[in-house]
Amino acid sequence: MSAGLVAALREVLGDRGLVADGDDLEPYLRDWTGTVVGTALAVARPATTDEVAEVVRLCAAEGVAVVPQGGHTGLNGGATPRHDGPSVVLSLTRMRRIRDVDPVSDTVTVEAGVVLADLQEAAQGVGRLFPVSLGSEGSATVGGIVSTNAGGTAVLRYGMTRDLVLGLEVVLPDGRVWHGLRALRKDNTGYDLTQLFVGAEGTLGVVTAAVLRLLPATPRRATALVALPDVGSAVALLGRLREHAAESLTTWELVGRQALDLVLAHVPGARDPFAQARPWYGLVELAGVDQGALDAQLEGALGAAVEEGLVADAVVATGSAQRAALWVLREGVSEAQRVEGPSVKHDVTLPITGLADAVAALAPRLDAVLPGVRLVTYGHVGDGNLHHNLTAPVGQEDALRAAAPELTAAVYDEVIARGGSISAEHGLGRTKVGAHQQRTSEVELDLMRAVKSAIDPAGLMNPGAVLPG
Amino acid sequence: MSAGLVAALREVLGDRGLVADGDDLEPYLRDWTGTVVGTALAVARPATTDEVAEVVRLCAAEGVAVVPQGGHTGLNGGATPRHDGPSVVLSLTRMRRIRDVDPVSDTVTVEAGVVLADLQEAAQGVGRLFPVSLGSEGSATVGGIVSTNAGGTAVLRYGMTRDLVLGLEVVLPDGRVWHGLRALRKDNTGYDLTQLFVGAEGTLGVVTAAVLRLLPATPRRATALVALPDVGSAVALLGRLREHAAESLTTWELVGRQALDLVLAHVPGARDPFAQARPWYGLVELAGVDQGALDAQLEGALGAAVEEGLVADAVVATGSAQRAALWVLREGVSEAQRVEGPSVKHDVTLPITGLADAVAALAPRLDAVLPGVRLVTYGHVGDGNLHHNLTAPVGQEDALRAAAPELTAAVYDEVIARGGSISAEHGLGRTKVGAHQQRTSEVELDLMRAVKSAIDPAGLMNPGAVLPG
């Protein structure tokens, strides 16, 4: 069967559009973290929507699963094929045409394989902003950020990818194409099918193109790093920033001392701008069109915060070099932790009101599981979204690996008990499906299963992602 | 059967919670426009989520349709029961508890029957803004604005109601309750069930409560009325406003001369601030925290627009009384047109790029159907959403009524041909279902039917709304 399918796919896609050789397949089968590895009959690399539709039809006819894949930068294995059961990986990276950029409607129509950085650049070229910004933007694709509802460092102001999607073109599990590429701000004609496919991780169909919103460019910035006594102060400062800066507030990121220490140790050129060590740091950025107004807003908010004792120390960037140096302290965390050794990652949200208490409760609970575990906490306070990534006590990497399931259960149970979510922005992929099933009500799982069966009755679209396969 | 059901409902709800008498029923059976009238066995008025669940279970057991109803201000009959087949109207207006207001998380948890104006006031009470603002806000309820994905005059800046809903509590068609009241900015754990219920007009379940986002208060305003030579200038001015004011731009409403004439004729105290009549008028409002900055932004944008010849004349409000006088010219249109006589209403969107051409194409097309028909156009340029409401030539009301189907078909066909939508913000309700079915692809209708059958297999939730009953 598989030889026949591969031959049929080659017929449709040509040699350039098909990868079926063992060595060439490998990069498509192993995820970015290197921990999730699957198998596939072949990788299909269609160049057009019609070719995608034909691939899906051929696979459906043979009962072979389709696993859509973009830049393959996901952290939960959602775009990596499973081990068991035949799959074809459907890589969208050849569909990288920017079909339309419209600075009057403030929309862009882009194919699934367009890289996020290229999209940002296209927006900038017409004096606009596409605001999704994240570490992997040089590889992540439109199809991927739409299918995982990606977040990043500007969600506070602009929302998730979901909030920026106006229309989609989707190849459905039966190979038909839903032409939903509407460039409309308002469209109340029935169920929001667009939002159903956003964040569905390719389990309901293959996103082949999207109409996305562009925003006014905000070329001026005011950036500060603040040293904070505790998470409660970070939350209170968020309020002050909102009061003084309203929507100018674009970024409000927290970095714990453990995280900063790793950056200072492993990222070349990283420098602590403060004389004294503090337990928490906040990176604040306002963006807009009027430098004077932004500076005044930032100064007003920080002044009020210092007076209230929320901020122990602060440094305001005086130019782009200093701004970049402050950003390194936040953006370097992930890489620095990778250099330090293996880690157990968590991407959770909580209601912002409960953030400080949750962080306080988490540390002793994790320490009881693995004494001395290093709780490297950082992330997006303005969204209630912190990454609690655990690094082993020095030299105890094996103990960390052994304790990982129990540590993760502790994080998730604490978060769920406080009204939070076990996946803020990374999705469920494959690796979080079990944890989600255990902690979700039967009513909610029934609704999810009903949606999946309604749209993909044969269960061939990325089986095992989002729901058990 | 019906007597048994009514008795069982009375048992659950008590006398206060049930209306079964003919005269008392009447207001629940006739829509706001007075043109859609249906029948019902009774009106259930539950006071709690448990009571709602019990009503839905009892109706499901008897195969009786449930028609959820809020403030009953909808314009397409979506909350008015049908003529044929037994229905119970489920009025949520007794569920009017504000369960929680949290200015730290910037969220509010409110029951379905809370009136929009009360919600706005609750937000204001903690120094925040709930930005949905529309003519019927004194009657419209949370359940209604969520179920219809209501728009209004601040969508340009804040999005539709959909963009403000974080979580929902929903009674499902089988009477089970989905507890999805999460107050999270980010939650990527599977399909977005919340957004599936938003805008579903009660056809997938009954929204009983919602967690909604609050925004920073923007107490300062800068408001202007501009006179414009054509719709193209209005679109171009939108661009200038965005460049100068970025997200401060909250409102950009267009009023055609015909609409203004009706307001001047019928709204007491309405006054044309300009010496010379022009074909189009724009109401512009910026909102923020710094009056000086807003004034400078507005002045900068208008200055640039005057220089380019986009604006023929402009008046900037110098105080709240003058601001209110300018708003009357926009907000008075609907009422003024009602006083003038019957009208045929349309609520459509287009890609903003194509707005001017569409308006230009529409006028002769409608005039060919009914010579002299008055095209009263106004609405939200920033969203591509204009209301084309047609008033009869003087004394020809009967001709208007006779030509109504053909006029509406002309508007819808023109809009669809230009990539637009036949319902921007009012939903499909009952009255637009036929027009939507005729102009929507089979693939899209299949997806909608699949969703409906998956969640409401018996088809008892508001049958005939959104999809044919």
Reported as a single tens digit per residue, the pLDDT across A149-207 is 999 888 999 999 999 999 999 999 999 999 999 999 999 999 999 999 999 999 999 99
Whether the predicted pLDDT of B462 surpasses 90? yes
Question: Which CATH number is A48's domain given?
Answer: 3.30.43.10
**C-alpha pair distances (Å), B452 with each of A169, A187, B201, B207:** 21, 19, 12, 16
Whether B423 is in a domain gets the answer no
**Same domain? A144 vs A40:** no
Whether B357 is in a domain gets the answer yes
Strand partners, A109: A100, A211
Two structure tokens written together for B166: 């974080």
For residue B144, which residues of chain A lie inside 8 Å, CB to CB?
none
Partner-chain contact B246 A187, CB within 8 Å: no
Whether the predicted pLDDT of A343 surpasses 80? yes
pLDDT for residue B247: 81
All residues at 6 or more sequence positions from B178 whose CB lies less than 8 Å from its CB, including other chains: A441, A443, A444, A447, B168, B169, B170, B171, B172, B193, B205
Is the Cβ of B177 closer than 8 Å to some Cβ of chain A?
yes
Partner-chain contact A384 B185, CB within 8 Å: yes
pLDDT for residue B389: 95
**Same domain? B385 vs B406:** yes
Whether A424 is in a domain gets the answer no
Convert the pLDDT of each residue in B164-209 to its tens digit.
999 999 999 999 999 999 999 999 999 999 999 999 999 999 999 9
Partner-chain contact A188 B451, CB within 8 Å: no
For residue A102, which residues of chain B lie inside 8 Å, CB to CB?
351, 353
Of chain B, the percentage scoring pLDDT greater than 90 comes to: 91
**Same domain? B144 vs B129:** yes
Two structure tokens written together for A446: 């029934």
For residue A180, which residues of chain B lie inside 8 Å, CB to CB?
444
Whether A426 is in a domain gets the answer no
Give the confidence band of A231 by pLDDT, cuts at 50, 70, 90: very high
B positions 114-143 inside 8 Å of A (CB): 127
**Same domain? B107 vs B201:** yes
pLDDT for residue A444: 98
Mean residue pLDDT of chain A comes to 95
**Same domain? B105 vs B67:** no
Of the residues A216, A234, A269, the one at which a domain ends: A216
**Same domain? B128 vs B78:** no
**Same domain? A114 vs A200:** yes
**C-alpha pair distances (Å), A108 with each of A103, A115, A179, B373:** 8, 13, 16, 37
Whether A433 is in a domain gets the answer no
pLDDT for residue A1: 59
Convert the pLDDT of each residue in A291-327 to its tens digit.
998 999 999 999 999 999 999 999 999 999 999 999 9
Question: Which CATH number is A349's domain given?
Answer: 3.30.70.2740
**Same domain? A56 vs A151:** no
Closest chain B C-alpha to A236 CA, distance in angstroms: 8
Closest-CA residue to A412 (of A392, A430, A439): A439
> Based on the structure, what is the number of domains in chain B?
4
- The whole domain housing A299 covers 220-332
Q: Residues A302, A382, B290, B164: what is their CA dihedral angle, to the nearest 10 degrees?
A: -170
* ipTM entry: 0.96
Q: What φ, ψ does residue B255 adopt, rounded to 5°?
A: -135, 120
Two structure tokens written together for A82: 């499973």
Closest chain A C-alpha to B426 CA, distance in angstroms: 7
Cβ proximity of B294 and A293 under 8 Å:
no
Residue predicted with more confidence, A16 or B242: A16
Whether the predicted pLDDT of A282 surpasses 90? yes
Of the residues A186, A216, A246, the one at which a domain ends: A216
**Same domain? B191 vs B242:** no
**Same domain? B183 vs B290:** no
Of the residues B285, B308, B334, the one at which a domain ends: B334
Whether B433 is in a domain gets the answer no
Question: Which CATH number is A120's domain given?
Answer: 3.30.465.10
What is the mean predicted confidence (pLDDT) over A382-404? 95
**Same domain? B128 vs B182:** yes
CA distance A137 to A116: 5
Secondary-structure breakdown of chain A: helix, strand, coil percentages, each rounded to the nearest 5 = 40, 20, 35
Question: Which CATH number is A239's domain given?
Answer: 3.30.70.2190
Whether A211 is in a domain gets the answer yes
A positions 258-317 inside 8 Å of B (CB): 288-290, 293, 296
For residue A196, which residues of chain B lie inside 8 Å, CB to CB?
191-192, 195-196, 451
Whether A366 is in a domain gets the answer yes
pLDDT for residue B1: 58
Closest chain B C-alpha to A47 CA, distance in angstroms: 23
Mean residue pLDDT of chain B comes to 95
Give the confidence band of B32 by pLDDT, cuts at 50, 70, 90: confident
Convert the pLDDT of each residue in A249-272 to its tens digit.
999 999 999 999 999 999 999 999
**Same domain? B61 vs B47:** yes
Q: Which of A238-247, A356-365, B212-221 has the lowest mean pLDDT?
A: A238-247
pLDDT for residue A84: 87
Convert the pLDDT of each residue in B389-435 to its tens digit.
999 999 999 999 999 999 999 999 999 999 999 999 999 999 999 99
Residue predicted with more confidence, B33 or B302: B302
Which chain B residue lies closest to A168 (C-alpha atoms)?
B444
Three-class HEC string of chain B: CHHHHHHHHHHHHCHHHEECCHHHHHHHHECCCCCCECCCCEEECCCCHHHHHHHHHHHHHHCCEEEEECCCCCCCCCCCCCCCCCEEEEECCCCCCEEEEECCCCEEEEECCCEHHHHHHHHHHCCEECCCCCCCCCCCEHHHHHHHCCCCCCHHHHCCHHHHEEEEEEECCCCCEEEECCCCCCCCCCCCHHHHHCCCCCCCCEEEEEEEECEECCCEEEEEEEEECCHHHHHHHHHHHHHHHHHHEEEEEEEEHHHHHHHHHHCCCCCCCCCCCCCEEEEEEEEECCHHHHHHHHHHHHHHHHHCCCCCEEEECCCHHHHHHHHHHHHCHHHHHHHHCCEECCEEECCHHHHHHHHHHHHHHHHHHCCCCEEEEEEEHHHCEEEEEEECCCCCHHHHHHHHHHHHHHHHHHHHHCCCECECCCCCCCCCHHHHHHCCCHHHHHHHHHHHHHHCCCCCECCCCCCCC
Give the confidence band of B2 by pLDDT, cuts at 50, 70, 90: confident
For residue B218, which residues of chain A lie inside 8 Å, CB to CB?
246
Which chain A residue lies closest to B446 (C-alpha atoms)?
A455
Partner-chain contact B349 A151, CB within 8 Å: no
Partner-chain contact B450 A455, CB within 8 Å: yes
Is the Cβ of A455 closer than 8 Å to some Cβ of chain B?
yes
Give the confidence band of B133 by pLDDT, cuts at 50, 70, 90: very high
Convert the pLDDT of each residue in A117-136 to its tens digit.
999 999 999 999 999 998 89
pLDDT for residue B242: 87
What is the mean predicted confidence (pLDDT) over A367-383? 95
Q: Which of A21-35, A97-111, A353-367, B124-138 has the lowest mean pLDDT?
A: A21-35
Q: Which of A28-32, A101-105, A273-277, B449-453 has the lowest mean pLDDT?
A: A28-32
